[in-house]
Chains A and B, each alone.
Chain A
Amino acid sequence: MNGLGKQLGLELLKLYGRKRTYIGFGAFLFVEVLLLSLLQMRPAQRAFARLLETNGFGFEEYFSGLTLAFLIMTNTIFFLSSLYLALVAGDMVAKEAEDGTLRMLLCRPVSRFRVLMVKYLACLVYTASLMVFIVVTSLLAGVAYKGMGGLFVYAPLQGVFGLYEAGPALVRYGFAVILLCVVTATVSTLGFFFSCFNMKPAAATILTLSLLFMDMVVQLIPYFESIKGWLLTYHIGCWVLVFQPQIPWWRIGESVVYLWGFNLSFLAVGGLYFLRRDFKS
């Protein structure tokens, strides 16, 4: 039997060999350029200046590349990355089952569990690669546009407010990218979970997005404040907390454990169904 490394390498080759895998990367680049262009408009800059100056900070110092990168990330990551992670994860099993290549794989002397594990690992690699891409390109685009400067952070939903010099700010970005890889895996896992069932790839993607957006809507309604702690999107948003002056590691740890508890449960249920499923033409 070939090793897990070789199987994963070839699974990644399949994944990154498809054009649709790159839609997410392309879309983020486009949105970054679009947001930076919009932020050049005077009304946008005036609103930003008002926010900074009412808090006693200089616009020129903090309307910087690092701040713009944060703005881009907080406003795009949830909605766009959910879309593209769900698209790719929803394809992982369902598309191959639909195309018939999964039948070809499953007549090989390999356990279904192994096939599923390799696919899930590839899904996690994709998730991490998209997150690293988003953070790095947001930073590069922001810095190219306005230079490094200081970082001004304001995220009311998570209650985060802070100001940082360039060095400490980059350390926070480092924490953010690691945490993003860990927490957005839940979006991919959800897509992968639905993909294990007998359904079209598009259905797996739509179900994933529906669930996440409903979860987000509930989070945004103030009357449901008391149940926020049960919502996936509340915990997925914990990556922003690394930008708080005192990083609440305990609260972040809680969210990570909660999300991975969900991930493992989704995987167990989807995996059990996959192991018992009939594959016919």
Chain B
Amino acid sequence: MKFTWFRCAHAARFLVLPFSLLFAEGCTGVASTGSARGEPTNTDSDPGGPQVMPGGPQVMPGVDPTASALLPGPKPLRRLTNFELKNTLWELLAVDAPVPETLPRDVLSESGFSEGSVISRLEAEAIMEWTGTLAQQGVARIMASAPCATAPADRALQDECVSGFISNFGMRAFRRPVTAAESTEFFSYYRDVLRTQQSYGFEQSIGVLAHLMLQSPRFLYHAGSPIAAMGPTSGAVRLDAYELASRMSYFLSGSMPDASLFEAALNGRLASTEGIQQEARRLLSDPQSKVQIEEIMLQWLGIEDLRKKIKDARYSFTPELGQAMVDETRRLVDSVLDGEGTLASLLLSRTAYVDNGALAALYGHPGFTGNNLTPLQLKETERSGILTRAAFLTSKSLGSELNPIKRGLAVVGKLLCLNVPPPPAGFVPPDHVDPGLSTREFLKRHDANACASACHAMFTPAGFAFENYDGVGAYRTVDGAETIDASASVYFPDGTTRPVVNALELSQLLAADAATGDCFADHWFRRALRRRDIPNDEGHRREVKQAFRGATGNIRELMVALVTSTAFTHRSLESAK
């Protein structure tokens, strides 16, 4: 294990220059955020009609392009994640099909959250096969998009029906009206199918069209509207109504827009902040959005798919237990959303919904035979909120039991947004705690190394607060021969170092401090925009943080603030030709 002095110096710089500098920079005379929020006045072009692109991108009004501080950033092309793909196919075809193993897994993107991975030959083939099967299974729903129930005898009427299908199904699959050129292309493909596949009936030919559309990049990617050969090439534009609806829906619900949202886009209701807020709150009241929020929460904290976690044999860790842990954290998120809906309650709730005996035992309730509908109050002296739940604690543990490192890193990175320089790729600390030493003692000696201490001083101390939890999150009072000492000192962005006696107190401290909410908002900002930060984000982020504070840490209101931010409703033209 080696740290380099370069890294140390780097770390030390961060350590002595906390966020004050960052904010000082952000406070310089940028244009008032109110004017940047001002809505475009010319969004009243007819967004309807299957062959006319609605709204159309407009140059961001009321913003001096030279006042770049508030210009929104790019909207990089992303592929639908597997979660989004599954949800969208369900909406489109009413077929509930698990994502096949052959499909590429999602990957960690620069935003810190999952994104669909790159498609190459193998994946293209897997998608072709999967969507082909689904198109067959979902034929009833597919035919419902055709204006005619059965094939009209008259050829012209048949063609008309197919054109109608292309418009209707394409509108939903592409999340925007099909352009005239696209419609022509698909129709000519249909003609080819009829000509070359003479055994195909009418229904089958339409099925082939649907299969084709489900492999189109317009379906598979979060694409913007075609803007070729028009408009400005620099500056920023407001997303057209459909692109905005789609962006909102995938962020708030993890799926394509529903009928009401499409209608709101069509009728221009997304042209105003109030209209966006109204639709956002509607979507957030739907149970589907809870599943999406669960997903984001798991990714935010880096909670893994624990079915695959490799743990030391002494823990009797099973894939089922790992799954139960993740399920329990999902239900914690649900219960928080059903209650106060705040970040603080997420950090402090002691209510658990457990339907796995091993997990109940791990939480100190061995006899519990309830199900996931029965709330279980966890022990006040042992548990508090998401950071003290088994899923987080197990995810943030190492095979070596040097758990304070990852746990501390999660606290400072995910809750306090202290910028710890990344370790060398794939780096893990020493394999095993030396026999005879407690974890704390071992790490103390390790961190006595001047170099390691510069990095670790930022996060390992916070991790000690979790020493009451072993590698799978079970509560313990001794580590080896030593009594657990879970006292810790936590470095905060304001430059203070605050002592806590254990993770319960740490959770309290985090729940009460505004820095935690600000950090949470930063992470969700990246998730909403699906990209890494750019300097121009600072002003937008400040607005969002204010809104989140104003809503006393309500998570849904944070999401509403995010989708109404100019950073979300607009994009720079950098990523478009």
A and B: interacting chains: no
